[in-house]
């Protein structure tokens, strides 16, 4: 599981950075990709990346500002041309369905796969046997949501060496033990599942926040997350401007990560006033003072989601 950034700039694209989009690659977990936000030009960024739109399973929009949304109709259309035939679910705030239906209808775009549009106002918006996705309202100029992706704990592995010492070979008995069922061998030996199944593997938690001021919703979604993606539109010397425009500073992102007891913080959504990587270093440094496990998100870079033992 890793995050791959396609755009990290705020507001408008620049020659150095494109507007917001990030993918969560679940290739080992479910052989699919989830995308969060789709700013203008995202499909061009995809062409320069290892991302394959045919594997795109879910797309989450944090809010309906153009730098997070304007690339969506084009990307949906291109997905069909690139061999995408599997159904796709798009999640986002109320208004998303009207935007997409009008855009695709007026442009007479032909989509050769099923699109389900799920408008939400927070809460649990998706859950299956492997993952749960929760959304919560943040504090921005329009309704903006953050998403918390929770990978559910997986059963512990079998101690195969111990099982072999009982003379057992892989087969149905292994399956029963894996499910937590005690078994009795042909020789009458009772084997307790608790003795041969290791501790469950803790699932990871990834929090991806839309544009926001510091707020309780952001903290709620971030508690004990293994990785948080948080906007850092401005350095903290522009905190008043950040507040005026309903954004956050790098220091405020670090304050949240520290309070949430998170594992790692990735900063993104940088103002165009910081045109080069070197100009972003002060944002990184001010965040690291409070939360050392901070990184600057860079486009076309992958960031593995760490797995902490027992959330530590």
User: 148 pairs with which residues across the strands?
Assistant: 134, 207
Tokens of 20: 């917001």
> How many CA atoms, within 13 angstroms, populate the side-chain half-sphere of residue 14?
16
User: What does the alpha-carbon distance between residue 250 and residue 222 come to, in Å, rounded to a whole number?
Assistant: 16
CA distances from 300 to 3, 38, 42 (A): 10, 15, 12
The verdict on whether residue 67 carries a ligand-binding annotation is yes
* Contact assessment for residue 18 and residue 6, using Cβ atoms and an 8 Å cutoff: yes
User: 36 pairs with which residues across the strands?
Assistant: 22, 60
User: What does the alpha-carbon distance between residue 224 and residue 258 come to, in Å, rounded to a whole number?
Assistant: 10
Tokens of 51: 């991302």
Q: How far apart are the first and last CA of the chain?
A: 19
Question: Which one-letter DSSP state was computed for residue 138?
Answer: -
What b/e readout covers 47-77, taking b as 16+ CB neighbours within 10 angstroms? eeeebebbbbbbbbbbbbbebbbbbbbbbbb
What b/e readout covers 251-281, taking b as 16+ CB neighbours within 10 angstroms? bbbbbbbeebebbbbbbbbbbeebeeeeebe
Q: Which residues are catalytic?
A: 67
The verdict on whether residue 2 carries a ligand-binding annotation is no
Which residues are annotated as part of the binding site?
63, 65, 67-68, 140, 211, 269
Which residues are annotated as part of the binding site for Zn(2+)?
63, 65, 67-68, 140, 211, 269
């Amino acid at each position: 599981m890793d995050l791959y950034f396609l755009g990290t700039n705020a507001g408008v694209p620049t020659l150095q950075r494109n507007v917001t989009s990030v993918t969560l690659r679940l290739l080992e977990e479910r052989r699919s990709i989830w995308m969060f936000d789709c700013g203008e030009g995202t499909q061009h960024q995809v062409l320069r990346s290892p991302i394959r739109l045919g594997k795109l399973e879910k797309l989450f929009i944090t809010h309906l500002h153009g730098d997070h949304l304007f690339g969506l109709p084009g990307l949906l259309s291109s997905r069909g041309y690139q061999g995408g035939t599997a159904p796709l679910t798009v999640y986002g705030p109320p208004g998303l369905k009207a935007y997409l239906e009008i855009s695709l209808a007026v442009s007479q775009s032909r989509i050769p796969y099923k699109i389900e549009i799920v408008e939400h106002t927070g809460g649990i918006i998706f859950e299956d046997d492997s993952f749960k996705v929760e959304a919560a309202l943040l504090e921005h100029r329009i309704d903006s949501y953050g998403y918390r992706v929770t990978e559910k704990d997986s059963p512990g592995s079998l101690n195969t060496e111990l099982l072999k010492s009982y003379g057992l070979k892989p087969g149905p008995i292994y399956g029963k033990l894996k499910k937590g069922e005690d078994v009795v061998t042909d020789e009458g030996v009772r084997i307790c599942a608790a003795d041969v199944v290791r501790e469950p593997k803790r699932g990871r938690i990834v929090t991806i926040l839309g544009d926001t001021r510091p707020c309780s919703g952001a903290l709620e979604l971030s508690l004990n997350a293994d990785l948080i993606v948080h906007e850092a539109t401005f350095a903290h010397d522009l905190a008043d401007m950040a507040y005026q425009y309903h954004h956050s500073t790098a220091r405020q992102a670090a304050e949240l990560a520290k309070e949430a007891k998170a594992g790692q913080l990735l900063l993104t959504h940088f103002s165009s006033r910081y045109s080069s990587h070197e100009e972003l270093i002060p944002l990184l440094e001010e965040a690291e003072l409070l939360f050392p496990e901070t990184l600057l998100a860079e486009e076309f870079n992958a960031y593995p989601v760490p797995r902490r033992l027992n959330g530590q």
